[in-house]
């Protein structure tokens, strides 16, 4: 470790319990027998924190959670060694159900909305983030927002975190408005990038040109995850493409969160965003190898890192 920074803070405003169930073949409108089940804690900000801890990084998670289920969620965070500071609001921690078909390996997701927030609670949360993220060189903002949060909530949070290098992994309006706060890095997937710009991006050059739109807005780095197509990094003076690694797929849930964790691990080791890109690709692929929402096994990440092939575009 080079010890580049002291702490990473991840923001998770809408945590969950992720319940994964396996069926032989999902048939709509019929009785489906569950063959296996497991429950993990979820929410993209928590997922990133779990990946960071499993890759040996120091981090903390700041978030919002409903009262119902809060004790169980805190216990699960403790088990992963993740310090957490959460604003508790009326309601319950949401439950997201992932139905995995053993026949097709496709995942059907049924996601609850989560406990709602009002303006007063949002103001209190912003104050909590400013206090707990103070001194963090990197702050990761990712995941869905609770009902009641206005558009531009992530932009508002980043503006309150003056001086921190922010990483934004969001789609839709939160990506567009969040870019106005000039984050250090954005990590949309290809679908989010196409939807935000209203463009169909069919070539690597087109994807690069789309990413450059955000660099011209003041974003410093863009990483686009493209599933089986691989991933792309676009910086001010360099564009890199990495083909997807060939791995045995367990579940793609959480692969983008693992990529963010891997990128930060790479920044710690390499001190350079372009070189850190390899780490992000390896972490994303390692996550795909796990079942359900288990995220990442460090040994898988280590074995894949040397297999990442990067080329300039």
- What domains, with CATH codes, occur in the chain? 8-13+42-86+116-312 (3.40.1190.20)
Q: Considering the candidates 18, 40, 257, 300, report the single residue annotated as catalytic.
A: 257
* pLDDT in the model for residue 137: 87
pTM assigned to the model? 0.92
Paired strand residues for 19: 39, 97
Please give the Cα distance from 258 to 47 (Å, whole number): 7
Token digits for 200? Answer: 């169909």
* pLDDT in the model for residue 248: 77
* pLDDT in the model for residue 246: 87
* pLDDT in the model for residue 2: 37
| pLDDT less than 50: residues of the chain | 1-5
* pLDDT in the model for residue 254: 79
Asked if 300 is an active-site residue, the reply is no
- For residue 281, the Cα-to-chain-centroid distance in whole angstroms is 13
Token digits for 99? Answer: 């139905």
* pLDDT in the model for residue 5: 44
DSSP the chain: -----S-EEEEESS-EEEEEEEESS--TTS---EEEEEEEEE-HHHHHHHHHHHTT--EEEEEEEEEETHHHHHHHHHHTT--EEEEEEEEE-EEEEEEEETTT--EEEEE-------HHHHHHHHHHHHHHTTT-SEEEEESPPPTTPPTTHHHHHHHHSTTSEEEEE--HHHHHHHGGG--SEE--BHHHHHHHHT----SHHHHHHHHHHHHHTT--EEEEE-GGG-EEEE-SS-EEEEPPP----S--TTHHHHHHHHHHHHHHHHS-HHHHHHHHHHHHHHHHTSSTT----HHHHHHHHTT---EE-
Side-chain-side CA neighbours of residue 94 (13 Å): 21
* pLDDT in the model for residue 1: 35
């Amino acid at each position: 470790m080079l010890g580049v920074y002291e702490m990473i803070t991840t923001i998770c405003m809408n945590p969950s319990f992720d319940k994964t169930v396996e069926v032989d073949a999902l048939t709509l409108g019929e009785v489906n027998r569950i063959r296996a089940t497991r429950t993990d804690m979820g929410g993209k900000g928590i997922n990133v924190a779990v990946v960071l801890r499993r890759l040996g990084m120091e981090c903390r998670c700041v978030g919002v959670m409903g009262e119902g289920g809060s004790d169980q969620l805190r216990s699960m965070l403790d088990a992963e060694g993740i310090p957490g500071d959460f604003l508790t609001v009326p309601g319950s921690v949401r439950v997201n159900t992932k139905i995995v078909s053993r026949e097709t390996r496709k995942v059907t997701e049924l996601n609850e909305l989560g406990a709602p927030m009002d303006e007063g609670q949002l103001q209190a949360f912003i104050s909590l983030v400013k206090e707990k993220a103070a001194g963090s060189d990197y702050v990761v903002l990712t995941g869905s927002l609770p009902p009641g949060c206005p558009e531009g909530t992530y932009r508002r949070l980043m503006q309150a975190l003056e001086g921190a290098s922010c990483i934004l992994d969001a789609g839709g309006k939160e990506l567009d408005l969040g870019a106005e706060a000039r984050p250090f890095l954005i990590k949309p997937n290809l679908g989010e990038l196409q939807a935000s710009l209203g463009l169909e991006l069919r070539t690597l050059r087109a994807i690069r040109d789309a990413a450059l739109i955000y660099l011209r807005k003041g974003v410093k780095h863009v990483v686009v995850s493209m599933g089986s197509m691989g991933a792309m990094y676009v910086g001010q003076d360099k564009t890199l493409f990495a083909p997807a690694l060939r791995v045995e797929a367990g579940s793609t849930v959480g692969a983008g969160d693992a990529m963010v964790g891997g990128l930060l691990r790479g920044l710690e080791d390499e001190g350079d965003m372009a070189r850190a890109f390899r780490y992000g690709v390896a972490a994303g692929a390692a996550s795909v190898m796990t079942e359900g929402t288990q995220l990442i096994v460090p040994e898988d990440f280590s074995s894949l890192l040397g297999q990442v092939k990067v080329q300039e575009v």
